[in-house]
Structure 1
Amino acid sequence: MCEELHFSPAGLGLVVSAYFGVSALASVPAGVLVERHGATRISRAGIALSAASLIAVAAAARSLWSLLVILAVGAAGNAMGQLASNTSLSRQVPAHRQGLTFGVKQAAIPVSTLLAGAAVPAVALTAGWRWAFVLAGLLACAAILLVPVEPSSPRRSREHGQATGALIVIGLAAMLAAGSANALGTFLVSSAVSHGIDPASAGLALTLGGAICGAARIVGGAQADRRPDQQVGTIAALLACGAFGLALLSVAGSGALTAGVVLGFGFGWAWPGLMTFAVVRLHPQAPAAATSITQTGVYAGGCVGPLALGAVAGGAGYPTMWTVASSAMVVAAALMLVGSCLLRRHAG
């Protein structure tokens, strides 16, 4: 894509940051739409918008800027789908199975990344990268038929009783954690090469981390159903493990690389389902509105994190960048604990 559309890796980073930035801006409005029009309608609209953007990339992307505009439209669909699915699951899945359900839902993200990677040799390098986007768009269209119908009319309430202060603190923690975790996918290979490690080995380590991340999200969701009141503390523990893993990446050697990716990505990025579960559990009357605040933090981290950490890497080197990312994740863990206390106070 970079070769055909004439942009550099920095341009690719700009496109990814713009995608997450628009997702962050669209998150709260998308939550309002879900509460007003119902999860089924907004979920279908979000999938349709995402499918249209994928097919538009194949048909109309001719430069960096056209690609950016198309993906910005798709980012709005991403926000709509996330919040609609949160609401649908919170209202249609029994409470004692919601932790596992949200874990499976969030595991779909690293799994989709693995599938996208598989699409490169299977489709992009044979039929061309545009056909890979066409195939993804058609699969997304098929998913519209699988959207569950709400059993009753959507709940509409002016007074949601949200613990807004707690949600903002947790959203800030999510921003720091997501920004740090996203740096792995963005900078791991180039960082490994700077340490003299083969790019293929770094890619395999990242694939391993993604697989562990998906499994950890599902297992974490299952344990959440058994200990529903302790999940924000569990998130803080996962972030502490992730911070240690990111710190290891500043050390040269393939062993430190593998351990760092497993801990930093496998555990440090395993918490989004637990966060959604904890927030939805305390805001069952308005799950989309509540999770829109915390989801904004996740998207903001995906937008700002790679840009800020990339600047650190350019100015001070990769070891310093991983140290900064590790420190940010430690702060995120502390903020999660503060947010947990505030949520308990609101619940009480």
Structure 2
Amino acid sequence: MRAQGVTPPGGGALFPLAVTITIQALVSLASLAAPVMAPAAARTTGLAAEMVGLFVGIAYATASLSSLVSGDMVRRWGAIRMSQVSLLLCALGLSAAATGTPAMILLAAVLIGLGYGPVTPASSHILVRTTPRHRMGLTFSLKQTGVPLGGMLAGLFLPPLIGGLGWQMAALVVAGLCVVATIVTQSIRARLDDDRDPARAISAKAPLRALQLVLTTPAIRDMGVCSFFFGAMQLCLTTFLVIYLTTAQGMGLALAGTILAVAQVAGVAGRIGWGWLSDRFIPPRRLLGLLGLAMGAAGMTFAAAGTTWPVAAFMLLAAIFGASAIGWNGVFLAEVANLAPAGQAATVSGASLFITYAGVVVGPPAFAQVVARTDSFSVAYLAIGSVMVLVGLFLILTRSGPSRRPQPI
């Protein structure tokens, strides 16, 4: 049942959807800037480009914690206010990274992680109040296109900025965009934060209760645990693709960035398409299982790729990889919000994302370790691809509790 309280312009869900997409895209751009800037930053900081895996791991470790505690904050101060805080934290993080010192780059990872965590629970809180149940999958998937849209911006526009202004000025440009968005969204806060409860207490035990709810509800627990591996795969794709293409395949930065953008475009298309399918034809759990198989197969194909492959082959493979490994989130978040008790979409989403981000924390550093120890990206892609096939089979072959069924056309 749809909650009441928000009356966006036109009385529909398009306005809050557009707002949440924009905020998600900017925060995503901020978080994905590091992997694109890593090769250029390595030349001026003395840090190996592969160390970006550690940066991403720290950022998402922080994001997992800020996501877990965000439920009460969203309810007390409002989803838009928490989104503004997220944007400012990302801006501060990028500004810290632009100093080029190792200590400030470490601080940047923490600040960006703190900013990234609350954005999805906040947007889930807005959308679950303004979206009819039979359009949950598509709407949440459309919102999640903000993540690959941010990745597209990172892949297409950051390389020219880095080439013309240097990586440090490029970081400051993205920080400026986050600040502008913070100022602009102030004008809509009253409309979308009208359900905030200033008297709501911030309980130290609330995050643990939220995590307990997720882990003791079988259907939500399975979603969360599998998202651990999905999140790891997604970040291994977006974090290492440019580095893999420039070092192992000998491509230029601009071409590698374009291929990353292809993966992100496919992720946008996948999120929309999978959301529509989950609303109409394929139950969310089964669809996520199929996506697990697809991303596993794509990872193992990357393991077999060689320098003699044509660029078109890498673009096609990146598109398949992106559609699955980037395109799964909207279906997952819609199903979690649908399974959450009434009024607890932000809380349950935040707790579920705590598990997702744990996978993101573990995945890139583990992937980097495999590459470092074997001196081979192929071994790393083969290993994580094999794991994803097993996860996909688990979701397809098992059931655990009720799940939202596709609606009749």
| Band the TM-score falls in, shorter-chain normalisation | 0.7 to 0.9
Note if contact 1:245-1:259 (Cα within 8 Å) is conserved in structure 2: no
Amino acid of the structure 1 residue aligned with 2:121: L
1:84 to 122, 130, 133: 122
Tell me, which stretches of 5 or more residues in structure 1 are unaligned? none
Relative to the length of structure 1, the TM-score reads 0.85
Relative to the length of structure 2, the TM-score reads 0.74
Note if contact 1:231-1:274 (Cα within 8 Å) is conserved in structure 2: yes
Note if contact 1:169-1:335 (Cα within 8 Å) is conserved in structure 2: no
1:266 equivalenced with 2:323 (yes/no): yes
2:215 to 164, 179, 194: 164
1:281 equivalenced with 2:335 (yes/no): no
Note if contact 2:155-2:257 (Cα within 8 Å) is conserved in structure 1: no
Residues 1-348 of structure 1 correspond to what in structure 2 (within 5 A)? Answer: 1-58=41-98, 61-144=99-182, 145-146=184-185, 148=189, 149-153=192-196, 162-165=213-216, 166=218, 167-189=220-242, 191=244, 198-199=251-252, 203-227=257-281, 230-253=283-306, 254=309, 257-283=314-340, 284-316=342-374, 317-337=376-396, 341-344=400-403
Note if contact 1:244-1:260 (Cα within 8 Å) is conserved in structure 2: no
Once the two structures are overlaid, the 10-residue window that deviates more, 61-70 or 247-256, is: 247-256
Q: What's the CA shift string for 1:190-221, capped at 9, x where partnerless? A: 55577756456655433322211111112222
Tell me, which stretches of 5 or more residues in structure 2 are unaligned? 1-40, 405-409
In the alignment, the residues of structure 2 paired with residue 92 and residue 85 of structure 1 have an alpha-carbon distance, to the nearest angstrom, of: 11
In the alignment, the residues of structure 2 paired with residue 343 and residue 337 of structure 1 have an alpha-carbon distance, to the nearest angstrom, of: 15
In the alignment, the residues of structure 2 paired with residue 46 and residue 27 of structure 1 have an alpha-carbon distance, to the nearest angstrom, of: 11
Deviation at 1:51, TM superposition (A): 2.7
In the alignment, the residues of structure 2 paired with residue 196 and residue 122 of structure 1 have an alpha-carbon distance, to the nearest angstrom, of: 21
**SS of residue matched to 1:342:** coil
Q: What's the CA shift string for 1:244-277, capped at 9, x where partnerless? A: 1111112234266445423222223210111000
In the alignment, the residues of structure 2 paired with residue 42 and residue 194 of structure 1 have an alpha-carbon distance, to the nearest angstrom, of: 39
Amino acid of the structure 1 residue aligned with 2:363: G
Instruction: Call closer, same or farther: CA 1:339–1:168 in 2, change over 3 Å.
Output: farther
In the alignment, the residues of structure 2 paired with residue 174 and residue 73 of structure 1 have an alpha-carbon distance, to the nearest angstrom, of: 23
RMSD of equivalent CA atoms:
3.0
Deviation at 1:305, TM superposition (A): 0.8
Instruction: Call closer, same or farther: CA 1:340–1:120 in 2, change over 3 Å.
Output: same
In the alignment, the residues of structure 1 paired with residue 398 and residue 169 of structure 2 have an alpha-carbon distance, to the nearest angstrom, of: 44
Note if contact 2:96-2:104 (Cα within 8 Å) is conserved in structure 1: no
**SS of residue matched to 2:193:** coil
Deviation at 1:37, TM superposition (A): 3.6
Instruction: Call closer, same or farther: CA 1:341–1:203 in 2, change over 3 Å.
Output: same
